[in-house]
Amino acid sequence: MKSVALHNLGCKVNSYEIDVMQQMLQEKGYKIVSFDKKADIYIVNTCTVTNIADRKSRQMLHRAKKMNPEAVVVATGCYVQTGEEEIVLDDAIDLAVGNNKKKELVSILESFLAERDQQKQVDNTNTVHSANTVHDMNTVHYMNTVHVVNRADLKTMHHTTIIDINDTDEYEELFLKQTSEHTRAYIKIQDGCNQFCSYCIIPYARGRVRSRSMEDIILEISNLCVSGYKEVVLTGIHISSYGVDFEKRPMLLELIQKINQVEGVERIRLGSLEPRIVTEEFAKSIGELTKICPHFHLSLQSGCDETLKRMNRRYSASEYEQGVSLLRKYFVNPAITTDVIVGFPGETEEEFLQTREFVEKINFSEMHIFPFSKRLQQKIG
CATH number of 168-379: 3.80.30.20
Residue 335 bridge partners (DSSP): 295
Q: What's the pLDDT score for residue 146?
A: 45
Q: Is the pLDDT of residue 81 over 90?
A: yes
Question: Whole-number mean pLDDT of the chain?
Answer: 91
Q: Is the pLDDT of residue 132 over 70?
A: no
Percent of the chain with pLDDT over 70: 91
Q: What's the pLDDT score for residue 374?
A: 78
pTM higher than the cut 0.75: yes
Q: Is the pLDDT of residue 147 over 80?
A: no
Q: What's the pLDDT score for residue 141?
A: 39
Q: What's the pLDDT score for residue 249?
A: 72
Instruction: Report the alpha-carbon distance of residue 354 to residue 369 in Å, rounded.
Output: 15
Please tell me the CATH superfamily of domain 3-163, with its number.
Methylthiotransferase, N-terminal domain (3.40.50.12160)
Q: What's the pLDDT score for residue 148?
A: 44
Q: Is the pLDDT of residue 25 over 50?
A: yes
Q: Is the pLDDT of residue 194 over 90?
A: yes
pLDDT in tens, 239-252: 999 999 998 877 99
| CA contacts within 13 A on the Cβ side of 148 | 9
Q: Is the pLDDT of residue 131 over 60?
A: no
Percent of the chain with pLDDT over 90: 84
pLDDT in tens, 100-130: 999 999 999 999 999 988 877 776 666 555 5
Q: Is the pLDDT of residue 58 over 50?
A: yes
Q: Is the pLDDT of residue 150 over 80?
A: no
Instruction: Report the alpha-carbon distance of residue 159 to residue 279 in Å, rounded.
Output: 45
Question: Looking at 44-58, 111-125, 172-186, which range is the least confident one?
Answer: 111-125
| CA contacts within 13 A on the Cβ side of 294 | 16
Q: How far separated are the first and last CA of the chain, in Å rounded?
A: 46
Q: What's the pLDDT score for residue 121?
A: 76
Burial state string for 96-135 with b = 16 or more CB within 10 A and e = fewer than 16: bbbbbbbbbbeebbebbbeebeeeeeeeeeeeeeeeeeee
- Do residues 157 and 172 touch, judged by C-beta distance below 8 A? no
Q: Is the pLDDT of residue 371 over 60?
A: yes
Q: Where in the chain is the domain with CATH 3.80.30.20?
A: 168-379
Instruction: Report the alpha-carbon distance of residue 291 to residue 231 in Å, rounded.
Output: 9
Residue 163 CB contacts under 8 Å (≥ 6 apart), including other chains? 98, 100, 101
Q: Where in the chain is the domain with CATH 3.40.50.12160?
A: 3-163
